Structure 1
């Protein structure tokens, strides 16, 4: 176990985005010359707050201003989330998506304003069916509890352990999971099946695919298939769990994204 998490009682980064309910912005430091804007899309049952505990601020400090959009809505489907993202693409941007948010990002990789995407623990274009079936066979108890994770109520300790790597401070993990909220069932059902994602040889965008070595929800083969679809290689972060932007080692993950962003043409 690591020592006390310095962020346990720290205020979250990010500012409310005017005109976009629930969204957060992450400006670059005063006097800095801003690079491409990063648009953040969170995974199921979470919110823009997952990026606001240091991750997006670290990337903004490197010169890439951020906008974290809510991938939520009680009855919304993936097309509704894609529509909201499309409305935010009024200027050149890169997409940084996690899990379900990464699937939404992949649906817009051929948008003329998208310069590339960093996909973290992504749901692959094939959808979640294979990953869910594997989890149901390997650990049916965990599978059943994960299925209830997006409903009201605090997730079970088993789910908490599945979301983070073994080095995560339990107090920090509890603080994060207490903020999880219900997700649209329509979107989750839709995410089980193959999605309208253009392959890399057509969209031609730069894509970074990062998997978490300790991820119980998105297995390595799904991450590799996602990367192959986009003509990219998959990288795996040692010690990280599914919520890699909040897990121990998140600064190194953010720095990896920054190094990739510096290679994406504007």
Structure 2
């Protein structure tokens, strides 16, 4: 069987493009990777596309999810090729939870992300100004502006999707808390990270793939090496 690699799952409003710098850093380390392009219509569709990507990858993989991508890998991580799950400021959900209803019995602080959402029919877009502040506030301005210009609306159903399986119960997981995150509150991240096998914490905002791609790649490559 070929050497293990990484399958990367983006968050809401984004696309596979957001992993470009991480993939380049992984390639420099000799690690093959693919980035999944989610339809962002509902969780079931996103999980199906991710499982298809794992099938196509065809080798053992560390499955990485950023933000909403954590909900996707929580379900898709039951795939037999997945050796570990890596959550980056991501939703490591448990039974009955969704990204809009996580740890409902805990009085955890919220962020201004709901304020930035713009609902139109069955889709939710993001206010570009507030969205930039929340998602890319610690990113070099020209990079942040280029990223925000590529954001796209998502289906309202994604916020209510509940994973059909909870892969982290049987698959090892690593959670990277982004301590200065203004989109997914760090206290919510730490609470979800208590479910993971291991945790790291970085002094950064919500988008480490843009602000510290080498660190993201090093974490992923390290987990691949540890599995090997």
TM over 0.5: yes
**Following the alignment from structure 1 to structure 2, what is the Cα–Cα distance between the partners of residues 242 and 263?**
26
Q: Which residue of 1 aligns with 2:201?
A: 236
Q: Which residue of 2 aligns with 1:252?
A: 215
| Cα distance change of structure 1 residues 127 and 80 upon mapping to structure 2, 3 Å threshold | same
Q: Which residue of 1 aligns with 2:28?
A: 61
Higher relative contact order (CA 8 A, sep 6+): 2
Shift of the alpha carbon at 1:177? 0.5
TM-score by length of 1: 0.71
Q: Which residue of 1 aligns with 2:175?
A: 209
| Correspondent of 1:116 among 80, 84, 93 | 84
- Contact kept, 8 Å, 1:131 with 1:218, in 2: the verdict is no
| Cα distance change of structure 1 residues 83 and 214 upon mapping to structure 2, 3 Å threshold | same
Q: Which residue of 1 aligns with 2:134?
A: 162
**Following the alignment from structure 2 to structure 1, what is the Cα–Cα distance between the partners of residues 191 and 22?**
26
**Following the alignment from structure 2 to structure 1, what is the Cα–Cα distance between the partners of residues 77 and 111?**
34
- Contact kept, 8 Å, 2:25 with 2:213, in 1: the verdict is no
**Following the alignment from structure 1 to structure 2, what is the Cα–Cα distance between the partners of residues 78 and 221?**
24
Higher helix share: 2
**Following the alignment from structure 1 to structure 2, what is the Cα–Cα distance between the partners of residues 222 and 59?**
28
| Correspondent of 1:104 among 62, 72, 85 | 72
Q: Which residue of 2 aligns with 1:15?
A: none
| Cα distance change of structure 1 residues 70 and 107 upon mapping to structure 2, 3 Å threshold | same
Higher strand share: 2
**Structure 1 stretch displaced more, 175-184 or 220-229:** 220-229
Structure 2 SS opposite 1:171: helix
Shift of the alpha carbon at 1:40? 1.0
How many residues align structurally? 218
Shift of the alpha carbon at 1:127? 2.7
Pairs within 5 Å for 1:16-165: 35-52=3-20, 54-73=21-40, 76-90=41-55, 91=58, 92-125=60-93, 126-129=97-100, 143-146=114-117, 151-152=124-125, 155-165=127-137
| Cα distance change of structure 1 residues 88 and 139 upon mapping to structure 2, 3 Å threshold | closer
TM-score by length of 2: 0.82
- Cα RMSD (Å) of the superposition? 2.9
- Structure 2, unaligned runs of 5 or more: none
Structure 2 SS opposite 1:242: coil
**Following the alignment from structure 1 to structure 2, what is the Cα–Cα distance between the partners of residues 97 and 199?**
13
* Rg comparison, structure with higher value: 1
- Contact kept, 8 Å, 1:39 with 1:94, in 2: the verdict is yes
Shift of the alpha carbon at 1:174? 0.7
- Contact kept, 8 Å, 1:211 with 1:236, in 2: the verdict is yes
